[in-house]
Amino acid sequence: MKVFINPGHMPGIDSGAVNRVLHLQECDIALSLGNLLEGKLKNAGCIVRLLQSDNLCGEAPPAPNICSAANSWAADVFVSLHCNSYNTVARGIETLCYVWDSHAGILAQAIQKQLVDTLQKLDQTIPDRGIKIRPDLAVLRCTAMPAVLVETAFIDNADDALLLVSQQETIAAAIARGITDYWCQLC
């Protein structure tokens, strides 16, 4: 299985969401999670490519184009990694895909289940926000393979941010299990 990992946003150009109290940037956490996920998927026998860029689908050349890189590489699975942000109170885990009734929907459910099961063992109060259908997102719309965007937790919420900082290995392992669970369902 060829897995394309896209850590969201781009350090130095687009921080994504931030937690000003804890001095956290979404782009840094996404890259850290992506590097851990890459290692775990390689250990599981996957071929992995990781690309972080602010050029999602051709709008910001000459930065590498994420969607065309994934398409020309012919990835089997595309996973974009992000952190959510809202009002410092909202919490939880959600996974986004283009359309529900699809391989992407199955992949999203597999990843969401592993993340929820794993993080709720560490913190029973973190909510399962479910699968969200987001056909408007470029990385879900312009990718030719099953693609999901994982909103791991809310970076601007103190309890979620603690998980994002202290449980990166656990979060990456859960996402890796979700991806391999999806692949096994197809076999």
Which residues form the interface with Zn ion (CB under 5 A)?
8, 16, 82
Angle in degrees, 0-180, between the axes of helices 168-186 and 26-43, rounded to the nearest 10: 50
Q: How far is the CB of 46 from Zn ion (least distance, A)?
A: 24
Q: Give the residue with the Cβ less far from Zn ion, 46 or 115.
A: 115
Q: Give the residue with the Cβ less far from Zn ion, 13 or 186.
A: 13
Q: Give the residue with the Cβ less far from Zn ion, 44 or 50.
A: 50
Q: Which residues contact 100 (CB under 8 A, 6 or more apart)?
A: 131, 133
Q: Are 73 and 143 in contact (CB under 8 A)?
A: no
Give the separation between CA 81 and CA 20, rounded to whole angstroms. 20
Q: Are 64 and 47 in contact (CB under 8 A)?
A: no
Q: Give the residue with the Cβ less far from Zn ion, 40 or 82.
A: 82
Residue of this chain nearest to Zn ion (CB atom): 82
Q: Give the residue with the Cβ less far from Zn ion, 8 or 146.
A: 8
Q: How far is the CB of 173 from Zn ion (least distance, A)?
A: 21
Q: Are 146 and 77 in contact (CB under 8 A)?
A: yes
**Sign, Cα dihedral of 63, 15, 66, 42:** positive
Q: Give the residue with the Cβ less far from Zn ion, 25 or 167.
A: 25
Q: How far is the CB of 99 from Zn ion (least distance, A)?
A: 21
Q: How far is the CB of 74 from Zn ion (least distance, A)?
A: 25
Amino acid letter, residue 52: Q
Give the separation between CA 73 and CA 175, rounded to whole angstroms. 21
Under DSSP, the state recorded for 131 is: E
Q: How far is the CB of 22 from Zn ion (least distance, A)?
A: 17
Q: How far is the CB of 137 from Zn ion (least distance, A)?
A: 10
